[in-house]
Chains A and B, each alone.
Chain A
């Protein structure tokens, strides 16, 4: 007798606009695990409905959370209502700070096991296995969720998002949730969204290529930004650079800032303090530019250019642009 196909719920961030790449990755992972139910906490745009379908969602449940879902306990109670309604075995969320809170509270409400920032590998005898890289990328840990339900937050760039060959037209199913008194005990006075990407640059957390600058920039990020633009990359920074006020807080890579795992990380003028390494060490290829041949970041680099970033980065940017121009001719 074969086990029933598992049901996997995926929270769609930003339902009102378009699906961001990490959510498409979640849908891609979800359909490798079972039947996919996409969940939106606000009315989805037509674009979101078609993108969810294109990435393998078989159902779309829109739940009215009954209060502002920016309050994560409100979001959690709404998502938990869907989990119970569709009897989801696995719940996947993109690993943002707010989603980690939501994930924890959903797991508490539906008595699920919780794994934070891991890759779901599959169900073995009904139990979800996950793998996770910890201690700044130096250890691999495989875990099993022993409860019937599992909630997992997944980092961007864990898999490559793939559309399905035969998307199913989605009909919106509606549900309503009534928030508890505790969930609305905190009041949201104001909420300001500042763009996570600047102009045409991708968002740091989900970029495939990141160029980051540290103290060695001496506050001048022009060369970092120029190479980033040549590569279509996001711009990141160390905590030092953020604390100095050289760049926005949102660009901080590290254990307490944005944790990234891009295909390519290029760090310029960055010595490699433990906090920073913990936030980028899972990058596939690590390239560094530093005047100090003893900089700790060189230990984890694939290519280390020992030199002044003010010379190296513009030359690299020009060579990349020349290469790309040659390829498009």
Chain B
């Protein structure tokens, strides 16, 4: 079984996240990390492989793919620490400023270049943009069925089945492989890296691909191909400090008075 997990290098949500030149999110090695929700996807992929018999496991691999600059290797190395077998970084100067559609198209080209892929497993969102739309677009670009927002994923006899959790709705879906699956943060608890994998991840090879390698026309991606453009990006003024009321037996009255005085009830 060959599984591709697309991952993203994002600013840590605890860090001071900001926009830089051209309305692009600043991603630096100092406060960048593997998108936390991608760990659930890596874990789900590893568990599918580990559930196979020894011979099938031997013939299986989990390939992590990222689109980004050299710093994005940090995300791939974190994936290696968790147990991913191969890592591919797609880098090209023309990619800067890519929109959802270009990102999905490049990932689809990368999946095709890996070849003989049974599943693509993604996280439910990237915690910087929170668009949650790339998995659907990737499935469409590949021409594969989509099974998205899975809180349960099983694969047997060439069929994937998921429990899909929406707001107020639970669905059970199946689809024949190959398929694109996105998993929620409720699907599993990602493992901690073990020492041997941490050591090996430092020097493990990362394969690099350019747009030309993948046969993607550079004018269709990046700023040139983007269907949206950022006009302005500005930090909001900090909030006024909170009115702090220490409860001495009338804290509830203070809360109610605040609501009433501000005409909020």
Contacts and interface: CB of A to CB of B under 8 A. Distances in A.
Given A73-B146, A306-B246, A143 B258 contact: no
A300 B149 contact: no
Nearest to B151: A249
B215 interface: no
B232 A185 contact: no
Interface in A51-105: 70, 72-73, 96-98, 100-101, 103-105
Interface stretch (A36-44, A113-121, A158-166): A113-121
A71 B140 CA distance: 13
Contacts of A18: none
A250 B245 contact: no
A177 interface: no
A186 B131 contact: no
A273 to B, nearest CB: 10
B264 A312 contact: no
Interface string B226-265: 1111111111100110111111011111111111101011
Contacts of B260: 320, 323
A77 B171 CA distance: 20
A97 B132 contact: yes
Contacts of B19: 139, 141
A205 B130 contact: no
Interface in B210-236: 226-236
Given A303-B258, A316-B255, A117 B130 contact: yes
Given A105-B136, A190-B171, A319-B257, A185 B228 contact: no
Contacts of A138: 17, 235-236
B29 interface: no
Given A113-B228, A303-B242, A323 B265 contact: yes
Contacts of A133: 236
Contact of B236 (A129, A140, A250, A311): A140
Contacts of B133: 100-101, 103-104, 114, 116
B110 interface: no
A124 to B, nearest CB: 10
Interface string A166-200: 00000000000000001001111111111110000
Interface stretch (A1-9, A23-31, A144-152, A212-220): A144-152
A258 interface: yes
A279 to B, nearest CB: 10
Interface residues of B, number: 80
A125 interface: no
B255 A137 contact: no
Contacts of B34: none
A314 interface: yes
A190 B173 CA distance: 7
Contacts of B242: 288, 298-304
Interface in B63-103: 99-101
A291 B240 CA distance: 21
Given A205-B167, A320-B256, A304 B136 contact: no
A185 to B, nearest CB: 4
Q: Which of A129, A255, A314 has the most CB of B within 10 A?
A: A255
Q: Which of B175, B235, B240, B244 has the most CB of A within 10 A?
A: B244
A26 B99 CA distance: 24
B166 A98 contact: yes
A250 B257 CA distance: 30
B127 interface: yes
A119 B175 CA distance: 35
A303 to B, nearest CB: 5
A305 B186 contact: no
15 contacts: A73-B140, A96-B166, A105-B137, A114-B227, A144-B229, A182-B140, A185-B144, A186-B146, A194-B170, A209-B264, A256-B125, A278-B130, A302-B258, A306-B244, A307-B247
Interface of B: 13-14, 17-19, 23, 37, 99-101, 124-125, 127-133, 136-137, 140, 143-149, 161, 165-176, 179, 184-186, 226-236, 239-240, 242-247, 249-260, 262, 264-265
Given A70-B171, A108-B140, A311-B247, 6 more contacts: A105-B137, A140-B234, A141-B23, A298-B244, A312-B251, A316-B255
